[in-house]
C-alpha cells in the first residue's frame, strides 16, 4: 500500500520537479517518478512515508499553478471494499464516526492509522463494494466540524481471491483492534464500546485487591492497561462493593481474572470456606437480550463454559439501582470464559442501541429520558426529584442516575436531551395511554401467573392492564397504562422492548405500535391547528403518524381520541408535545384573578 498516485499534474511538470518537492518536504521515495500527462506515480519505502506524502502534499502544494492531489494508487481490481478516511476532526468521538459510517453499509472493521498530523486517519472495510462506493461518494469532501473529509480507496488484496463479498445489513459487524476514545492523537485508551465491566466483590476481599499502599491494584492496572475504580466508601457496612473496570474487552477480562485469583488466594489464606462466585453488574436494559428467547443465549453460555449462571429478579431494581446481578459459579477459568461471553452480549446490545440512537437522534430534542433510568448514563437535565440519597442496598458507584457507572457523560445523545419537557418535581398529573400490541404477545406481557406485568407495573410506578378482547381487529389487544409522565416512559419503553426480545417483530424490523390518548373535544382543534398546520408540524418533528379522526362523537367526559403511530422515540416525543399543547390550553382556560380581589389567608387549625 506504498505506491502513490499524484493527480492534477500540469503538462509542464517533470520528474525533477517531483524530486525537488519530495526533497523539500523530506519525504523519502524508493523509486523514480513515472510522469504521465496529467498524473504521475511513485513508490514509497513504507506506509509511513506514503501517509506523510498524502498529508503534507495533497491539496496543499502547488506545482506550476496546480494543486497536487496525492492518494494511494489502487488498481481497479483491488478497488473493492476498503477505504481510507483522512482529515477527521481530532476530538470526534468514535460513536459519532461509527454512526456516520454505518449509514452507508455494514462496516466489518475500522482501524486507526498512526500519523504525525493533528487530524486522524482510519482505514475502513465495508461488507460490499457498492457500500464502499456509496460511502466514498457521500463522504469525500463532506464537512465535519469545519474539517473536509478526504476519502480514497486503499488496495484490498483479498478482493482478487474472494471476489465480491456478500452485502450485509446496514450497521456494524465485527470491528478492528481496540481504538482510542476519539480519533485524535493522545486520546485516552478506551473500550470497544462505552460499557465498562462492573463487578460485585465481597467487602472482606477489597483490601487484598487494593494491596499494601495500593500496590496490587496499581500492578493490575498497569498489566491490563485498565482504569479500575473500587467504590469502597459507598454504602458503609455493605457486604459487597462494586468495582468498575474501564479498558478494552481483553483488558477487562484480564483484570477480572486477576481479581478472581486474588480473592481465591485470600480465601485460602484466611481459611474462608464458602464458594466465591463471580458477580457481574449489568444494566437491566441489556439483560433481556443476554438471556435470549426462552433463555437460549444464557443456556448456551452455560453449556459452552460449564458454569452455572443466575440473574437477580426484576423486582430487586429500584429507581436508584437499575442494575441486575449476574452470578456465575464455576472454576476461575470457566468463570473467565463466561465473563467474556456475557460481556460480549452486553456490549453488542449497547452498540446496537447506540447505532439506533445515531439514526434517531434528530427525534430526541425536548425529551428528558435521561433522568428516567431507561438507559445507562446520566448527566445534564436530571430533575431534583431524582437526586436524593440512595437507600441502603443500592450499589455503590451508582447512587443516582446523575452518577452513572457507564461514564459521567452518558451516551452521546443524552447531552442533547433538554429539560424543557421534564415534568416538575413533586406532584405530577396522571395520564392515560392506550397502547395496542399484537394479540399473540399478551401472554408474554402478562407472564407466568401474571408475574411479568406485576413486576413491570411495580418498576414503572404505573397501573398496567390488558383490556378484554373486543372490537373489529382480533389481531390487536389494548394495554391501558395509567401513571405520570415518568411512569409512562418506563412502562412503554419496557413494552416495546419486550415485543422485540420475544421476536414479535423481525430482527431487521423496527417495533412500531399505535397509541391512543384522549384530549378534551374543545382542545382537538388546537392539536390539529389551522388547516392542519400543527399536526403536520408535529408529524415532521417526531416522525410519528398523528391522526385526529374527523366526525368523532365525544365520550361521556367530552373527550376525543388522538391516534399516534410509530417507533418508541417517535411516540414518546409526540405524546410529550401533545401534552404540552393541552397544558397550554388548560392554562389559558384558568380564570384570571380580578385586580381588587385578595387571596384568602387559610385559617390555622
Which pLDDT band, with edges at 50, 70 and 90, does 172 fall under?
very low
- The cell numbers describing 549, all together, are 379522526
* Residues 413-452 pLDDT 10s: 333 333 333 333 445 688 999 999 999 999 989 988 888 8
Least confident of 251-265, 429-443, 462-476: 462-476
pLDDT at 465 over 50: yes
pLDDT at residue 308 tops 70: yes
Phi/psi at 480 (nearest 5 deg)? -100, 115
Model confidence over 372-423: pLDDT tens digits? 334 444 332 223 222 233 333 334 433 322 233 333 333 323 333 333 333 3
* SS3 label, residue 349: helix
Contacts of 461 by beta carbon, 8 Å cutoff, 6+ apart: 483, 484, 486, 487, 490
Helix (H) or strand (E) holding 516: strand 513-520
Residue 531 near residue 192, CB atoms below 8 Å: no
* 350 has pLDDT over 90: no
Cβ distance 252 to 271 under 8 Å?
Answer: no
Is residue 329 predicted with pLDDT exceeding 50? yes
pLDDT at position 376, please?
Answer: 41
| Separation between Cα atoms, residue 297 and residue 287, nearest integer Å | 11
- State the residue for C-alpha cell 502547488: 62
Q: How would you classify residue 554: left for phi > 0, otherwise alpha for psi between -120 and 50, otherwise beta?
A: beta
Q: What is the pLDDT of residue 343?
A: 94
pLDDT for 133 equals 86
Per-residue pLDDT band for 166 (boundaries 50, 70, 90) equals very low
Q: What is the pLDDT of residues 22-32, one digit of tens each?
A: 999 899 988 88
Q: What is the pLDDT of residue 471?
A: 67
Question: What does the pLDDT read at residue 507?
Answer: 67
Residue 593: pLDDT band (50, 70, 90) is: low
Could you give the CA distance from residue 246 to residue 242 in angstroms, rounded to a whole number?
13
> Could you give the CA distance from residue 485 to residue 462 in angstroms, rounded to a whole number?
10
What confidence score (pLDDT) does residue 145 get? 75
- Cell numbers given for 114: 498512526
Averaged over 454-480, what is the pLDDT?
86
Distance CA 260, CA 265 (A): 9
Q: Looking at 215-284, which runs of residues are DSSP E strands?
A: 227-230, 240-246, 278-283
Question: Which residues on adjacent β-strands are paired with residue 478?
Answer: 436
CA distance 251 to 224: 5
CA angle 540, 543, 546 (to 5 degrees): 80
Tell me the sheet residues that pair with 589: none
As a residue count, the chain comes to 605
- Contacts with 298 (C-beta within 8 Å, 6 or more apart), sequence order: 290, 291, 292, 309, 311
Residue 155's pLDDT is 74
CA-based torsion, 510, 283, 409, 420: positive or negative: positive
What's the mean pLDDT in 116-136?
84
Please say whether the dihedral angle defined by the alpha carbons of residues 99, 104, 110 and 114, taken in this order, is positive or negative: negative
- Asked whether the predicted pLDDT for residue 177 surpasses 60, the reply is no
338-355 mean pLDDT: 85
Number of Cβ atoms within 10 Å of the Cβ of 73: 22
Express as a percent the part of the chain with pLDDT over 70. Answer: 75
pLDDT at residue 53 greater than cutoff 90:
no
pLDDT at 76: 63
User: What percentage of the chain exceeds 90 in pLDDT?
Assistant: 25
Q: Are 74 and 153 in contact (CB under 8 A)?
A: yes
Helix (H) or strand (E) holding 335: helix 332-360
Question: Which of 233 and 20 is assigned the larger pLDDT?
Answer: 20
Q: Write down the mean pLDDT value for the chain.
A: 77
Q: How far apart are CA 189 and CA 179, in angstroms?
A: 7
Amino acid at each position: 500500500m506504498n505506491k502513490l498516485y499524484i493527480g492534477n499534474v500540469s503538462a509542464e511538470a517533470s520528474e525533477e520537479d517531483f524530486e525537488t518537492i519530495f526533497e523539500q518536504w523530506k519525504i523519502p521515495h524508493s523509486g523514480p517518478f513515472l510522469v504521465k500527462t496529467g498524473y504521475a506515480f511513485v513508490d514509497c519505502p513504507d506506509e509511513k512515508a506514503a501517509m506523510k506524502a498524502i498529508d503534507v502534499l495533497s491539496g496543499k502544494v502547488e506545482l506550476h499553478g496546480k494543486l497536487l492531489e496525492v492518494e494511494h494508487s489502487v488498481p481497479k481490481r483491488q478497488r473493492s471494499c476498503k477505504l481510507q478516511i483522512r482529515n477527521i476532526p481530532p476530538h470526534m468521538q468514535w460513536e459519532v464516526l461509527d454512526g456516520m459510517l454505518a449509514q452507508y453499509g455494514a462496516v466489518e472493521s475500522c482501524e486507526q492509522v498512526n500519523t504525525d498530523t493533528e487530524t486522524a486517519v482510519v482505514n475502513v472495510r465495508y461488507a460490499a463494494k457498492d457500500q464502499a462506493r456509496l460511502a466514498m461518494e457521500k463522504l469525500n469532501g463532506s464537512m465535519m466540524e469545519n474539517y473536509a473529509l478526504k476519502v480514497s480507496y486503499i488496495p484490498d488484496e483479498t478482493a482478487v481471491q474472494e471476489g465480491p463479498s456478500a452485502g450485509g445489513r446496514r450497521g456494524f459487524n465485527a470491528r478492528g483492534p481496540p481504538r482510542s476514545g476519539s480519533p485524535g492523537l493522545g486520546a485516552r485508551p478506551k473500550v470497544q464500546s462505552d460499557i465498562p465491566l462492573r463487578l460485585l466483590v465481597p467487602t472482606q476481599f477489597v483490601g487484598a485487591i487494593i494491596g499494601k499502599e495500593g500496590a496490587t491494584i496499581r500492578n493490575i492496572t498497569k498489566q491490563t492497561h485498565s482504569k479500575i475504580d473500587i467504590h469502597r466508601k459507598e454504602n458503609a457496612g455493605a457486604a459487597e462493593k462494586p468495582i468498575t473496570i474501564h479498558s478494552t474487552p481483553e483488558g477487562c477480562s484480564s483484570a477480572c481474572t486477576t481479581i478472581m485469583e486474588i480473592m481465591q488466594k485470600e480465601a485460602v489464606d484466611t481459611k474462608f470456606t464458602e464458594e466465591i462466585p463471580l458477580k457481574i453488574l449489568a444494566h437491566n436494559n441489556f439483560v433481556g437480550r443476554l438471556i435470549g428467547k426462552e433463555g437460549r443465549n444464557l443456556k448456551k453460555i452455560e453449556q459452552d463454559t460449564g458454569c452455572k449462571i443466575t440473574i437477580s429478579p426484576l423486582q430487586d431494581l429500584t429507581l436508584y439501582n437499575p442494575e441486575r446481578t449476574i452470578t456465575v459459579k464455576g472454576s476461575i477459568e470457566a468463570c473467565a470464559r463466561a465473563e467474556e461471553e456475557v460481556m460480549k452480549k452486553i456490549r453488542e446490545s449497547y452498540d446496537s442501541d447506540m447505532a439506533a440512537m445515531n439514526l434517531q437522534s434528530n427525534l430526541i430534542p425536548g425529551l428528558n429520558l435521561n433522568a428516567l433510568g431507561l438507559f445507562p448514563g446520566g448527566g445534564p437535565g436530571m430533575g431534583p426529584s431524582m437526586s436524593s440519597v440512595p437507600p441502603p442496598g443500592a450499589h455503590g458507584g451508582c447512587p443516582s442516575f446523575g452518577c452513572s457507572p457507564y461514564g459521567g457523560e452518558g451516551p452521546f445523545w443524552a447531552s442533547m436531551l433538554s429539560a424543557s419537557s421534564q415534568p416538575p418535581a413533586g406532584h405530577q398529573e396522571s395520564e392515560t395511554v392506550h397502547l395496542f400490541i399484537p394479540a399473540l404477545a399478551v401472554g408474554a406481557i402478562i407472564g407466568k401467573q401474571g408475574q411479568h406485568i406485576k413486576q413491570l407495573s411495580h418498576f414503572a410506578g404505573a397501573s398496567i392492564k390488558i383490556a378484554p378482547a373486543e372490537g373489529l381487529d382480533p389481531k390487536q389487544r389494548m394495554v391501558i397504562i395509567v401513571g405520570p409522565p415518568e411512569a409512562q416512559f418506563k412502562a412503554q419503553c419496557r413494552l416495546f422492548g419486550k415485543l422485540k426480545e420475544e421476536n414479535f417483530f423481525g430482527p431487521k424490523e423496527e417495533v412500531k405500535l399505535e397509541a391512543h390518548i384522549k384530549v378534551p373535544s374543545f382542545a382537538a382543534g388546537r392539536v390539529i391547528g389551522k388547516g392542519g398546520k400543527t399536526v403536520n408540524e408535529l408529524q415532521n418533528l417526531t416522525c410519528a403518524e398523528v391522526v385526529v379522526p374527523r366526525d368523532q362523537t365525544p365520550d361521556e367526559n367530552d373527550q376525543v381520541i388522538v391516534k399516534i403511530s410509530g417507533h418508541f422515540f417517535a411516540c414518546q416525543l409526540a405524546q410529550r408535545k401533545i401534552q404540552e399543547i393541552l397544558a397550554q390550553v388548560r392554562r389559558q382556560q384558568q380564570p384570571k384573578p380580578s385586580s381588587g380581589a385578595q387571596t384568602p389567608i387559610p385559617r390555622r387549625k
